[in-house]
Amino acid sequence: MPTPTLLRSVRVTKTHKLSAAVLAAAGATAALTIPAATGDAHAATSAAPAAVKKVSANGQPAGAKAKAAEAKPGDAKETATLADSVKITAVAGQGHTAKEAASRAADRKPVEPAKPKYADNLDGWIKESLAIMKEKGIPGSYEGLHRNIMRESSGNPRVVNDWDINAKNGIPSKGLLQVIQPTFERYHVEGTANDLFDPVANITAAANYAAHRYGSMDNVNSAY
């Protein structure tokens, strides 16, 4: 009778235990992924384990931080572009507004004060002449002008002296204050009509002449 062989005891180590656990887990996974013979593709797909999302150390999904970092430069660029567009629009609007204001200012002409209206009679002619005389610094008063006009022409602006020495010399005295043409031309006041028979022009020229020769029409009491 042969001598029985003694079985050598095998010591199960920690490594052996881990290997066995890995093999068991692998076998279970393989069994779950093999579709049943009678099942359909949908059953096999639904039986597969769901993919596990990777999570970073702070609990955020892996790659989220990177995506956020990638999105920020673009967002900043778009924001800057929008801000620039707003600034350009604002500046353009200001320029347009300024241009319109300048155009309106150019179109508007300075408003000149309304000129006073004078009656078309002796009283109005004297008053208008006095206003011009005051502007030009020519002395004279209403009384002095009226007095001499009444003596020279009785207030007729179209009267002509055809008998005195001036008339004989071919340069008759004319108008309200009986002025000859050379005197009128020499003492004509700018701003009045260039017409010896114009009442205001005649009075103002005569007053200008009297101011140079007598100091003022107020000092004239006879033919001058």
Would you say how long the chain is, in residues? 224
Residue 32: per-residue pLDDT: 38
Residue 113: per-residue pLDDT: 76
Residue 95: per-residue pLDDT: 59
Predicted confidence band of residue 83 (pLDDT cuts 50, 70, 90): low
Strand, helix or coil at 82? helix
Dist. CA 178–CA 172, nearest whole Å:
8
Q: CB within 8 A of 204, min separation 6: which ones?
A: 129, 132, 133, 138, 189, 192
Taking a C-beta distance cutoff of 8 angstroms, is the pair 209, 181 a contact?
no
Q: Which domains does the chain have, with CATH numbers?
A: 142-219 (1.10.530.10)
Predicted confidence band of residue 20 (pLDDT cuts 50, 70, 90): very low
**pLDDT, tens only, 84-94:** 665 555 555 56
Residue 112: per-residue pLDDT: 72
Taking a C-beta distance cutoff of 8 angstroms, is the pair 136, 200 a contact?
no
**pLDDT, tens only, 106-124:** 667 677 778 889 999 999 9
Cα separations in angstroms, 123 against 39, 127, 129, 130:
128, 6, 10, 11
Dist. CA 173–CA 184, nearest whole Å:
10
Model pTM score: 0.53
Mean pLDDT of 194-206: 98
**pLDDT, tens only, 26-75:** 454 444 343 444 444 343 344 444 444 554 555 555 554 445 445 455 55
